Amino acid sequence: FAKNICPLGKYMILQEIEYCKQNKLTMYYLGYYIHSCSKMRYKIEYQPSELLCPTTFRWVDASEARAIIEKESPDHHCCTLAPNDNIDNKAKEQFPSKTNIDRKIAKTIPLDVGLESYVTIDMLQENGQDIVRPLVEEFVSHVGTELSHQFILKLI
């Protein structure tokens, strides 16, 4: 297959989109989109396209979402993409605003600092805590309290 004509991956996507059209399927899922992964950026090229907001569970136009990600969280690539005014109460509990974050939760997130075992914020030196705490709290606010416990944050 000639790469200079059409890369195989793109050709397969176009074939799958054609299949969806022929079978009157209205949606085609390209899989996860990770903004910081350059190999996944091709997914945003297909239009119309939407991304699911990780905090409000609402679909947002991909071009708008990309602009929001680049403006609001250029380093971490994780932020709220849609307003949460109609989000249900259970979801609000799972995804607290930054001001409502229980610091105890952030203190329990395991951190990989390159040692043999994981550490928590309290195990870092004071200046390290001052640097890491806001990042961990931001992570918890975007991912949610339940899901954040399933991660180990690698500090590099």
* pLDDT of 18: 92
- Taking the model in full, what pTM does it have? 0.47
Instruction: Residue 55: name the closest of 103, 102, 95 by CA.
Output: 95
Residue in this structure with the two tokens 């899989």, named with its chain if needed: 31
Q: How far apart are the first and last CA of the chain?
A: 40
pLDDT value at residue 2: 54
pLDDT of residue 4: 66
8 A C-beta contact, residue 65 and residue 81: yes
Ranges of residues in the chain with a pLDDT under 70 are 1-4, 74-78, 83-103
pLDDT of residue 7: 80
- pLDDT of res. 83: 67
Strand partners of residue 52 = 59
Report d(CA 118, CA 112) in Å as an integer.
Answer: 5
Contacts of 70 (CB under 8 A, 6+ apart): 35
